[in-house]
Chain A
Amino acid sequence: MRKNSTKLIALGVLAIICILFYGFYDIKGGFDYAFPRRMVRVAAMVLTGIAIAYSTVVFQTITHNRILTPSVMGLDSMYTVVQTLIYFFAGSMSVWVLNKYLNFGAAIIAMVLFALILYRFLFRADKHPIYLLLLIGMILGTLLGSLVTFLQVIIDPVEYLSLQNRLFANFVNVKKDLLYIALAILVVAFIYGYRMMGKLDVMSLGRENAMNLGINYDRMVMNVLILSSVLIATSTALVGPITFLGLIVANLAYQYLTTYKHSVLILGASLISIIAIVGGQFLVEHIFELRTTLSVIINFIGGIYFIYLLLKESRAAG
């Protein structure tokens, strides 16, 4: 127990150091100009980091699988699909685009539905081997991707520019207007999640054991899926998809913090996530001088880590 709290404090300190470095390093010109702008980015990075870590850990608990994440299953590409559909059918001047709450709400609802359908077909019916799940996830991802490309090709070029601006969010170009919504969603998610940490711990014992201990399992799965989709929607809307980040931070948290307690795991994964994003972005801006983006680096490292996990899993199974 005590060891874990020391580890959490270490992670917290490291995260703060990353944030300070990012905020103060090499500020030239007007401090008053640069500092607030950097802090907006930091806020977006922290919110995204927490949202991704949180959603991945709870998603992996209900699927009993440490390789699948909402992103690997193509949940965040659903965001792109929804936005493209909106621009295609309603146009950039419609209320669906101009009212950012409406737009965000539509994206969230679509992603939740997608998650529920995925779960119903993939996880409820018997136990499918993990490779099948991954293949289906990849195929769905490709399908959605092609659909999006198709629509983008035949859309009005002016509309397309406007759509592109919305889809190509990243940490340098944060959607500032969404920050407050994201913050509100995270606060609600944490208040809600605080009450279900114990239930999540029990759910990691598996469906039958959890039901034996009085958990209304199927309802909990539904709630967690919705929570997870909303969080992924939030982070995707803020800074765009970062496929492998959740996978890395969740698994690092499991490895580093040997516990089953979700309160510790989620906190740890969130801190690791903040360190990875803020620290990574610092490197991107000051060492690589913006010649690459953070998503590229994270997906590169994450991809390698993903293969490592797959190999480890198959060795354990064989």
Chain B
Amino acid sequence: MIQIKDLTKRFGKKPVVEDVSITIEPKTITSFIGPNGAGKSTLLSMVSRLLEADSGEVLLDQNSVRKWKSSEFAKRVSILKQTNHISVRLTVRELVSFGRYPYSKGHLNSEDEKFVDTAIEYMNLGDMQHKFIDELSGGQKQRAFIAMVIAQDTEYILLDEPLNNLDMKHSVQIMKILRRLVDELGKTVIIVLHDINFASVYSDRIVALKDGKLVKDGPTHEIINSDALRDIYDMDIPIQEQNGCRICIYFNSHT
């Protein structure tokens, strides 16, 4: 279980994340939402140890993430940031194989290969697995990186705006895959999302941040209503229900 306790991070004097405490429910998709600069990515970076917190702590199985050995932590929690520029020439399969590094240390056995195969299949990358990453489109590249994280086979998967630069089709595809990871394989996904409709339709829980502070934390249906959204975004957002999905119609709202 991941528990976030009184986490604070300042860049200079300005607090970017301030006294945030959340408990991540296992086997759910938890979405971090909020306006630009709310501290969502920073929070995610601290949970995954990419960034050091100024105060407060993150606990994984009751132990502070700072105390975990890097190589063991990598078998439990994986993170994918939004910008992934690679300077070396790699094929898709080679990139996905890197996901096995925490287990194989570079020498893949047949079990590792099986994980790589599964991850490639999950992301529908089979026919392009021998292509070089720099020959792919933005969406294909994004899927290759997600496949790497899937091959890493961690209990917790943290994704920082994975839908950036993706068209509707691929966004939906990726969200469905994340849903399968949770429902079929029992993973726990924490994801930063910009589009609240994706958060509304696919996530179990929503954590809303604003100016570095936690404003809402609860099951999706409690957050996706006009009152709660007004607190988060300062907008009047009407909500319509369509086949059991709550859709936020924010395009024409008063601010």
**B98-A205 in contact (CB<8A):** yes
- Of A20-28, A184-192, A211-219, the one with at least 4 CB within 8 A of chain B: A211-219
**Bound-complex Cα distance A209 to B70 (A):** 13
**B87-A213 in contact (CB<8A):** no
**Bound-complex Cα distance A209 to B84 (A):** 8
- Of B31-39, B72-80, B123-131, B173-181, the one with at least 4 CB within 8 A of chain A: B72-80
Q: Which residues of B contact A216 (CB under 8 A)?
A: 70
CB-based nearest A residue for B107? A198
Q: Which residues of A contact B88 (CB under 8 A)?
A: 204-205, 260
CB distance from B183 to the nearest CB of A (A): 24
CB-based nearest B residue for A212? B79
Q: Which residues of B contact A205 (CB under 8 A)?
A: 86, 88, 95, 98
Are A258 and B152 CB-contacts (below 8 A) given A206-B84, A213-B98, A213-B102? no
Q: Which residues of B contact A65 (CB under 8 A)?
A: 87
The interface size bin for chain A is 20 to 34
**Bound-complex Cα distance A258 to B133 (A):** 13
CB distance from A268 to the nearest CB of B (A): 14
Q: Which residues of A contact B141 (CB under 8 A)?
A: none
| A64 proximal to B (CB < 8 A) | yes
**A258-B48 in contact (CB<8A):** no
**A198-B101 in contact (CB<8A):** yes
CB distance from A27 to the nearest CB of B (A): 45
Some 11 contacts from A to B, beta carbons below 8 A apart, are A64-B87, A198-B105, A202-B106, A206-B85, A206-B86, A212-B48, A212-B79, A212-B149, A212-B152, A213-B99, A260-B89
For the complex with contacts A64-B87, A202-B101, A212-B50, 19 further pairs of A-B residues with Cβ separation under 8 Å are A197-B106, A201-B106, A202-B106, A204-B88, A206-B84, A208-B50, A209-B98, A211-B70, A212-B78, A212-B80, A212-B149, A213-B74, A213-B98, A213-B102, A214-B70, A214-B71, A214-B101, A260-B90, A260-B94
